Structures are given as structure tokens and as C-alpha cells.
Amino acid sequence: METEKKLDDPSNVKTEGCEKCVPFKRKSQRKKHYCQSDFVIRGKIMGSRKIGLETRYDIHVKHVFKNKFPLVHREYVWVSNQCDCPKLEDNQEYIMMPSRHVNHERTLNRILLSPNSYIRPWTQQEDHQMQRLNRLCRLSS
């Protein structure tokens, strides 16, 4: 006998257009993203808050590898989508390469992780790769 799904059960509701989150960007894309990104940081997720169709992450910036614009030790990083991808875990550290987003009216200036942004869980090996990429990108520019 087949079990019916209840429509009022929130676990059965699927946000339109949302599938599983795309896995973290592959390591092979590191150099391109590093050289083109506004920021490359190692940050610890201190918390998150859903605001409308966006998620705002409170980040403790542990290390800045690259920044085209000034950063402070605590920043908000925004994920602008209704699917909440990438999913970042509280108290975990990540290497992330977000971009600066300024709206057309220039009234909104924030750090944005898009679905195409490079983000990976932090490891000592990733740290060494970021330092190596910092030198490579400076030489190629």
C-alpha cells in the first residue's frame, strides 16, 4: 500500500527551481577565481539569518589573501538566492572568493557569494594553495 504525502507537511514543500545545491567549486577552477575575485578570504561562519529571499552570514575574517576593497574582522557575506546555496555551516571555516556588489542606485554595497563563487572548506593545504596563487596572480597581472 502506497503512503500518501501530506501537502501541509513543510518537509514536502519544494521551493520552485531549487534542486540540491551544486557541490563546492572544484580545485581546478581556483586560479581563475582567485585572479578575478574582489576578495579571497578565510572566514569562520559565526551565524546566519534569512532575510527575504537571501541569507546573511556573519563571518569572522581570519585571514585576507586578497582584497580590492577594505575589510574588517567581522563582515556580512550575502547569499542572494531562495535556495540558500551554498550551504555554510556555523563554526566552520571556509576559503571563499566573493565579489563586491553595488546596486544601480549606489545605496547598497555588500559582499556577495553567487552560485558561481569559489568556496571550499578550509584546510591547511587550501591555505598553502591560496598563498601560491597570490604570487601567481600578481605576476600575471
pLDDT tens digits, 77-111: 998 776 667 778 999 999 999 999 887 776 678 89
pLDDT at residue 44 in the model: 98
pLDDT at residue 9 in the model: 31
- pLDDT averaged over the chain? 79
pLDDT at 17 over 60: no
Residue 4 inside a domain? The answer is no
Average pLDDT on 11-17 reads 40
pLDDT at residue 107 in the model: 67
User: Please, what's the b/e burial string for 49-72 (b: 16 or more CB within 10 A of its CB; e: otherwise)?
Assistant: eeeeeebbbbbebeeebbeeeeee
The total number of structural domains that make up the chain: 1
Average pLDDT on 112-126 reads 88
Measured distance CA(94)–CA(99) in Å, rounded: 15
**For residue 72, what are the domain limits?**
22-140
Residue 12 inside a domain? The answer is no
CATH number assigned to the domain comprising residue 36: 2.40.50.120
Residues 117, 38 contacting (CB under 8 angstroms): no
